Structure formats: structure tokens, C-alpha cells
Structure 1
């Protein structure tokens, strides 16, 4: 077996969603359709809350934050359903690629290291996301208890901004509304965790194969001409497979990255604003956890894209550091031209983008700076 880690965490959450990444089993689309229905029916309630409180900046920004989360979750559900077969083919092709190289001991160490890093990042991101959702759902009953203890009146409170067409001061109505909100939160969390952690796993394993290409190129020795050329062809074919996989991954995630990066500045802006307005309130823990989750969500895409680009470009340096002079001295100028072409292509690397902007660390910093400038503007209005 290749490794029990690829993609272990992602497979578990996809099974909860009713989809299979690796096994040929029947899908349970009713689960993902229930998630979609819970979100779609909850969004109008959130929008109605925002329209009712359009002159209240605190509640309006809270509404905007909730709507953005819901819309991004719907995009990710669409990605799960609309590109399910393509995603499975992509995972199987990467798994076959890793299986072929796993028998080489240095390659096995690289794959194990990258998968361990992926599972750590994915587990930490999942924990933050679930903690934010759990704290939001738990905060509402606690606020109701505190309010009742202080005022003697029981005022309904909800995990996320929403209004309902019935009186929730009656206990059975409130319980129904509360369960509806919790189902919507679960419908947001599950597909978001699935899609984001899968991208993290795919990029880490792609970086592993690029790193294997680089190590093979550095260890290349041009002594026996026929053997050396066969080995060189194998390395170039492996690098070409990596570039093809990177292009397929980019095509699969490009619309989602576009939506994620377009909404990120505004999303982080309203979260920063809410965090600054609730520094001395019990809700500060929820907003802090939510902020960490959104930063982690953005970082997964920007860090993954940056790592893929960097690892793919390092292949050019590996060619330069290899034992290519031996082949030129042995009278194989065609090999020299092939190395030059490979170096030129490797300098471009493999890029992950969202149509108009690349997913890299520079984009991450730019989005955070833009969000901070938006916060200053919002605070001047409040």
C-alpha cells in the first residue's frame, strides 16, 4: 500500500457527506441534498434579518458574514456534485503516480513527510472550523440563560442572524428554529471541510512528486550513455505528468478559488469589524475562532498554490546541479538541448490561479491588507 494517510481525513468527511473518493460504492446523494436544502432555505431568513436591520452596522455586517459563508458553501457543494467524477479521476491518477514512485526509498520518505504535513494542517483547519460552529451553536442557549438570569425574561437568541415568520418566544417554536439553524451550520461546515482539505491533500502530494523529480534529477549521473538517457527520459516524463496533473487540478479548482479570493477581503473585513466591536463581550471567542478559520481557509489555497509553484520551479535548479557536463563531454549535444528546453519550461512552473489572480502568499498578504483598510472605512460609518 502507498500510505494510510492519503487521503484519510478527507475520505472520512466525504463519506459523511455521502460521497466516496476512492471506493467504488453507491453514493448517498440524499445527504448532500439535505445540506443544500438546509442552506438554501436558511439564506432568505438571514437576508430578511439584514434588511430589517439595514441601519444597524453591527447587525448588517453580521448578516453579510453569514451570507458569504452560506454562498461559498453552496459553491463548494456545486463543486462536489458537478465535478465529482473528475475529482475521482484526478485522485486516482495521483495515487497511481505515487504508487509508481513509492518503491524508491527517498521517494517514500518524501511522500510520508508531505502526507503527515497535510494531515496535520487539515486536522487543525477542521478543528478550528468545527470549534467556530460549535461555539456559535452553544453561545445562543448560554446568552438566553444569562439574559433570563439578569432580566427574568426569556428572549430567543439564535446562533446566526435570522428572522422567522412565527413567534419564537414559545418553546417548541424556538426549538424548531434552533434545530433549523444548527442543520444549516452543519450543511455549511461539512462540504467546506471536504473541499478545502481535499485541495490541501492534492497540493501536498503534488509537491511530493515535484520534490521526487528534483531529487532524481540531482542524483542523475551521465556515465553510461544509454542507461543515462533512459533515466533522463523517465525523469522528464515524470515531470511532465506532474505538470499535467497541476493543470488538471487548476482547472478543477479555478472557479472555486476565484469565488474564495473574491469574497475573502470582504469576509475578513466584516469579521475584523465584529471582532473589534466585541472585544469585551463573551462573543469575542466565537469571532476569534471564526477569524482563525477564515484565515486558515484562505491560507490553504494561497499556501498550496505557492508551494506547488515553488516546487515546480526548483526543477530548473536541480537540472543545473545535476551531472549534465558528463553527457556533453561524451558527445551528446542533443541531450544538452533537451536540458535547456526543460530548464526553460521549469522556470514557468505550475501555477494555481483563480482566473485573474494567482493563489500564492503575495495574494494572501494583499487580501489581508485590503480587509484591514475596509475595517477602517466601516468603523468611520458606525
Structure 2
């Protein structure tokens, strides 16, 4: 099996719906611009969501519901704009990853197996992540009919509901107007889902392969013993080059994703506050299930970035212990060669001890940050529940 066979399979299918081709031989990723019509739909519906926010300034519950929709559209449009802005960087990184994966896979079956296993696990996780998002989209599209059905059952009166709380200048009580508006809103919601799934899963795949490269470097340093110090130094140089290359790729990835991670966590925090309020009010109602699933989706998004950031930090730092456990003492000779090997190992251990940290400008994306987000959100919801 080729080391690149499972690379970005889920992402390729998802981002193709936006008109991008991840493996374009010409280097031009955005080839089918007409496919991103769903993003244009969410952009055109944005003013009507904003109008709903302004209209409901005196109704806290309706305001919170509209603000959640507004933040979702802002994040979706921002992520799509980042895909366009970074498309050349993504294409260059994808090309770099594929070349390095191929090169390391040719060094031995054990190295190829590390990369293949990492990509299989990544595609499984990304597939689950994509399924969760599309289920959230389906639930968001079905919820209006559930609300209208319950309203008719309890009161005999039906008020038209839409996937997004919007204020339109036309009468949506008219059946034809409602049908067209509903289809517009449902189609526009895919313009939120697709950029989010694409960017988040691409990040997951990149970090999974970076962890695989770090594992290969660890495996190699544990076996670098040679007959002479000169051969040992030559092998170490290649291993350190792989580790440095992986760090450089981490730096490039972090540079691309810093604004995305920052925006994701900032907007998610605001969403959790408002959804926590809505969930506390509708806890015993049918809508409570929808808001609970919405909260879970946001938490899963934060978890993806924190989990991947933690993995990169851990695997890059483990290189220090791999050097410590390596047979370095058996490869030392006498004279300058011995000193050179010792110096190389010490410098590498000092660098590896820091690992690599995925950041969002002013915070680090790791499991500690995720735990803090979840604890704060749960405490906030519990507090609101005690007041309701």
C-alpha cells in the first residue's frame, strides 16, 4: 500500500464541494468556483440574520438565538475566506507532505507502516467528525418542522419557522414564499458546514502526519548505532534533518492556522455562552435536544484543535527521550568524532525538550485549554439551570 493512498481522502471529497482540488497537478487549487454557490447563499442571507438580531434587541431569548446564527455565519464566511487566502500555502504544504511521506516510506516497511497507520486513524476520525457536522446540519433543517408540528398540536396555530432566525421584507406566511425561503436557508447552511469541516479536518490530517514524522525520527534515533563514529554522525545528521524538517512544517502550519484557531475559540466561547442560556431555558423541551447537540458540535470542534495540538507537542518532545534511550554510548569513539556526536545529541535534546506548541496567538491549543473550556461551559450552564 502506498503511504499517500489514504492521505486527505475525506478532505478531498468535502472541499471539492466548494470547488477546490487538493491534488491539482497545475498548482491551481480553486478550479470550480461555481460550486461555492452555497457560500454565496450564506453571504446573501447574512443581512437578514443581522436584521433579526437588531429587531429582537428587547427579547433576550430571541436575541440569543439570532446571535448564535449570526456568529455561525461569520465563522463560516471567515473560514471560507481563509481557504481562498491560504489555498497556495495549502497546496505547497500538501505537496511537501506527500514528498516527505513517499521518501520516508521508501526507507523501510516499518516507517511506511507508521505513516499508513497515522493516515488510517486520521481518516476514521475525520469521517466521524464530518458525519457529526452533517447530522447537525440535518437536525437544523428538520427542527423548524418539529417546532411547527408541536405548535399546531398544542395550539392549533402554526407560525412559519426557518433554519436561521431571519427577518425578511416579504411575507413568509405565503406558502410559496416560505418554501423558497426555507430552501434558501437550508442550502445556505451548507455554506457554514463545508468550510468548517474542510479546514478542521485538513488541520487534523496535517498534524497526524507530523506526529508520524516525529515517531519515525524517534524510531530512527533509537537505531542509529554504526560501526564507526563517522557513520553514526552521518546517520544522526539525517535524523536531525528529518526532525528539523518536521519542525519547519509545524511552523508553517501554525502560521497558517493561528488566525483560524484564534477566531474559532473566540467565536465558540461566545456561542457557548448564548447556547448555554438557551439550553438552560429549553432543558425540558424538545428544542433542548437541538441546543445540546449544537453545544456538543462546538465542543467537538474545539477538541479537534486541542487534541491535535497536544499530540504535536507530545510527539515532538518525545524526541528528547528517544535520544536519551538511544545507544549513543556504544557509538562513541575517541577524539573529535566523539565530541561532535555528544555535542549534536545535547543540542538536539535541548531543542526537543520544548516540543512544538500550536497556538492561537495568545494561547496554546492543548488539552488543558480544552478542559478549561468544558469546565467553564458546564459551570455556566449549571449556574443558569439553578436560576431557571
Give TM-score scaled by structure 1 length.
0.94
Q: Which residue of 2 aligns with 1:346?
A: 352
- Report if the CA contact (8 A) 1:2-1:102 is conserved: yes
* Pairing 1:212-251 to 2, within 5 Å after superposition: 212-251=216-255
Alpha-carbon spacing, 1:44–1:356, altered in 2? closer, same or farther (3 Å): same
Q: Does 1:154 pair with 2:155? A: no
- For residue 111 of structure 1, the aligned residue among 107, 111, 115 is 115
Q: Which residue matches 1:68?
A: 71
Deviation string for 1:163-216 (max 9, x for gaps)? Answer: 111111110110121012112201101111111110010010111101110111
RMSD, aligned α-carbons: 1.9
- Cα distance, 1:320 vs structure 2: 0.7
The answer on 1:308 being equivalent to 2:312 is yes
Whether the 8 Å CA contact 2:50–2:70 is kept in 1: the answer is yes
Partner of 1:99: 102
Residue 207 in 1 paired to residue 211 in 2? yes
Give 3-state SS (helix, strand or coil) of 1:328's partner: coil
1:278 to partner: Cα distance: 1.9
Residue 72 of structure 1, CA deviation: 1.1
> C-alpha separation between the residues in 2 aligned to 1:348 and 1:71?
35
- For the structure 1 residues 54 and 377, does the alpha-carbon distance in structure 2 shift closer, same or farther, using more than 3 Å as the test? farther
What SS is found at the alignment partner of 1:212? helix
Q: 1:323 aligns with which of 324, 327, 330?
A: 327
Deviation at 1:333, TM superposition (A): 0.8
The reply on whether 1:11 has 2:15 as its aligned counterpart is no
Task: Indicate if the aligned counterparts of 1:246 and 1:350 stay in contact, CA closer than 8 A.
Answer: yes
SS at match of 1:284: helix
Structure 1 pair 361/264, CA: closer, same or farther in 2 (3 Å)? same
The answer to whether the aligner puts 1:368 opposite 2:374 as a matched pair is yes
| Cα deviation, residue 60, structure 1 | 1.8
CA drift at 1:247: 0.4
How far 1:264 moved relative to its partner? 2.4
Shift in Å, 1:122: 0.9
Aligned-partner SS, 1:197: helix
Mark the CA change 1:289 to 1:145 in structure 2 (over 3 Å): closer, same or farther. same
Aligned partners of 2:236, 2:134: CA distance in 1, in Å? 47
Q: Secondary structure at the match of 1:108?
A: helix
- Contact kept, 8 Å, 1:264 with 1:367, in 2: the verdict is no
- Mapped partners of 2:147, 2:269: distance in 1: 30
Shift of 1:368: 2.4
Q: Provide the rounded CA distance (Å) in 1 between the counterparts of 2:212 and 2:166.
A: 45
1:110/1:208 contact within 8 Å kept: yes
Report the equivalent of 1:2. 3
For 1:73-118, what per-residue CA distance to the aligned partner results, in whole angstroms no more than 9, with x for missing partners? 1111011101101111001101111111113122122112211221
Q: How many Å apart are 1:39 and its aligned residue? A: 1.8
- 1:20 equivalent to 2:21? Answer yes
Q: Deviations over 1:55-78 (max 9, x none)?
A: 322222212221221111111101
Are the counterparts in 2 of residues 114 and 205 from structure 1 also a CA contact under 8 Å?
A: yes
Q: Please say if 1:176 is aligned against 2:177.
A: no
Contact 2:119 2:205 in 1 (8 A): yes
Name the structure 2 match of 1:269: 273
Q: 1:169 to 1:93 in 2, by over 3 A?
A: same
Report the Cα distance in structure 1 between the residues aligned to 2:62 and 2:25, rounded to whole angstroms. 46
